[in-house]
Amino acid sequence: MKFTIGAFACALIMSAPAIQAQTAPVTTAATTSGTLRAGTSVPLKMSEPLTTLGKKLKVGQRFQLETAENVMIDGNVVIPAGSPATGEVTEVRNKGMWGKSGRINGRVLYVRANGRQIRMSGQLDDKGTTGTAAVVGSLVVIPIAGFFMTGTSANIPLGTPVTAFIDEDVSVAFSGAAAPMVVAPAAVVPVAAPVTIKK
């Protein structure tokens, strides 16, 4: 009895999964660049309160802020929300006699983002309410009473919004997404010649 298994062998080979030579993933990252321009506005908020109450605030004292939202270039985040910023008190006037109110002036110095310190500019201030009207009224009745009338302290509460500006051009680079994996063409599978078995 004769039968040919060549066709049978071919059927088995064709039904098996195709063997493909596959290369390792290629993860070359494209890099793009841009510039964060001087004058770009950056929304900040106070991370600590400032007050002349207690007369402890001093000129030159540093205080902390943070960015209130992301700063972006072409859809890429350059300065993430919550990045720490630092400011400095430039003027302090405590409340005093004759209705004098308290006053605070400050400036923004820099923000830290992605391992870099970026110079910034921006001003903030607050002035307490004067007691001038009360002083004038007191002087009419009893002259010495005005001496004891004071204004209110200046206060910049926690979370107060502050607008600052980038003070220098900053070059930045962005890493793009990885290139798609490259797959080589399928290897050619040799087909065995028909085999005839005699029985």
Residue 7 within any structural domain of the chain: no
Residue 80 within any structural domain of the chain: yes
pLDDT tens digit sequence for 45-75 = 999 999 999 889 999 999 999 999 999 998 8
Q: Please tell me the distance from the alpha carbon of residue 94 to that of residue 54, in angstroms, as a whole number.
A: 9
pLDDT at 167 over 70: yes
Which of 4-8, 155-159, 194-198 shows the highest mean pLDDT? 155-159
175 or 79: whose pLDDT is higher?
79
Residue 132 within any structural domain of the chain: yes
Count of domains observed in the chain: 1
Q: Please tell me the distance from the alpha carbon of residue 182 to that of residue 179, in angstroms, as a whole number.
A: 9
Q: Please tell me the distance from the alpha carbon of residue 114 to that of residue 60, in angstroms, as a whole number.
A: 27
> What is the CATH number for 167?
2.40.128
Q: Please tell me the distance from the alpha carbon of residue 101 to that of residue 161, in angstroms, as a whole number.
A: 23
pTM higher than 0.75: no
Residue 28 within any structural domain of the chain: no
Residue 137 within any structural domain of the chain: yes
Q: Residue 131 corresponds to which tokens in the numbers above?
A: 């007691």
DSSP element (H, E) containing 12: helix 6-15
pLDDT tens digit sequence for 84-121 = 999 999 999 986 545 578 899 999 999 999 889 999 99
Residue 186 within any structural domain of the chain: no
